[in-house]
Amino acid sequence: MSETILQVEHLKKVFTSGKKTVTAVEDVSFTAERRECLGIVGESGSGKSTVAKMITRLLDTTEGRVTLQGEDITHAKGKDLRKAYRKVQMVFQMPMESFDPRRTLGDGIGESLRNMGLRKKETRKKVEELLVTCGLTPEFADRYPHEVSGGQCQRAAIARALAVDPVLLICDEATSALDVTVQMQIVQLLRKLQKERGLSLLMITHDLALAQELCDRILVMYHGRIIEEGTPDEIIGNPKEEYTKKLIDSVV
Ligand code: ADP
Ligand code: MG
């Protein structure tokens, strides 16, 4: 039985600066089910990150609605917003930049746990568990961001995201800055987490091959809209839109 974790309805984002307006996202609707890996694929500038930022409330929505486990979070603020943040976590392209360079990875990963009232010793234990879950060793807790590789740092960023035990993990180009072999290792880690923790994944990427590898379903975005939706086999085997065909041709 499926359970809808995320529902996005008619999402729209208009950026205004002075007299200039840009419609970055227009009429975007989709759902993500529990344990599903949903991919959003599209070229740079197609509106993928803007969608992610509206879901996580880093950006206000111009129009539309975001519902998380049945709760409307479109305009969530304060306490409601913090509650929503525990359910949705995001992993970004540049893991190094998402950690404070003057603090250890363990500090970064444990921050939300301490905020939830966990004691120092319990926090340390949980941080070490999370590091191991993400394929690192407990010693990584004492390292600084500049003392680890890009792949290791991304694993630490995933560990930090998991600390609050979210239901949905949004990865925005989370593997784009990594070497291909490291990319595949991170993909395998995400797949493992999806299975073991019942996580839903929203994989945002310009890389159709990567989405094909990991995702159960793919949405293709073009100029702010979803132009095509289907399983990887449907999208790649029988693309309906010209743009999707071009995307496929650019991969093979
Ligand atoms: P993607 O993540 O697919 O590369 P984005 O969502 O970052 O695309 O951007 C979609 C469009 O919105 C682009 O035209 C971009 O220039 C524009 N855009 C994104 N953020 C802003 C902003 N803060 N102000 C103005 N325009 C923006
Ligand atoms: Mg982006």
Q: Is the alpha carbon torsion for 100, 102, 103, 104 positive or negative? A: positive
Distance (Å, rounded) from C-alpha 65 to C-alpha 199?
A: 22
Q: Ligand 1 pocket: which of 14, 15, 93, 94 to mutate (most atoms <8 Å of CB)?
A: 15
- Tens digit of each residue's pLDDT (9 = 90 or more) over 209-247: 899 989 999 999 999 999 999 999 999 888 888 888 888
Q: Distance from the CA of 174 to the center of ligand 1, in angstroms? A: 17
In the chain, what are the domains? 1-87+169-174+199-252 (3.40.50.300)
Q: What is the pLDDT of residue 252?
A: 58
Atom of ligand 1 nearest to the CA of 50: 6
- Tens digit of each residue's pLDDT (9 = 90 or more) over 41-86: 999 999 999 999 999 999 999 999 999 999 999 999 998 888 888 8
Q: What is the pLDDT of residue 94?
A: 85
Q: Where are the beta strands (DSSP E) in the chain?
A: 4-17, 20-33, 37-41, 63-68, 71-72, 88-91, 168-172, 200-205, 217-222, 225-230
In single-letter form, the type of residue at position 99 comes to F
- What are the phi and psi torsion angles at 46 (to 5°)? -80, -10
Q: What is the pLDDT of residue 82?
A: 86
Q: Copy the structure tokens of residue 62.
A: 């111009």
Q: Distance from the CA of 29 to the center of ligand 1, in angstroms? A: 18
Q: Give the number of whichever ligand sits closest to the CA of residue 59.
A: 1
Q: Copy the structure tokens of residue 105.
A: 């990875």
CB of 57 sitting under 6 A from ligand 1: no
Strands 63-68 and 71-72: antiparallel
- Residue nearest ligand 1's atom 15 by CA: 45
CB contact at 8 A, 132 and 192: no
Residue 1 scores a pLDDT above 90: no
CB of 48 sitting under 6 A from ligand 1: yes
Atom of ligand 1 nearest to the CA of 172: 2
Q: Distance from the CA of 51 to the center of ligand 2, in angstroms? A: 9
Distance (Å, rounded) from C-alpha 248 to C-alpha 242?
A: 10
CB of 49 sitting under 6 A from ligand 1: yes
Distance (Å, rounded) from C-alpha 41 to C-alpha 26?
A: 16
- Tens digit of each residue's pLDDT (9 = 90 or more) over 112-161: 999 999 999 999 999 999 999 999 999 999 999 999 999 999 999 999 99
- Residue nearest ligand 1's atom 11 by CA: 24
Answer yes or no: pTM beyond 0.75.
Answer: yes
Please name which of 248, 214, 212, 246 lies closest in space to residue 232, comparing C-alpha atoms. Answer: 212
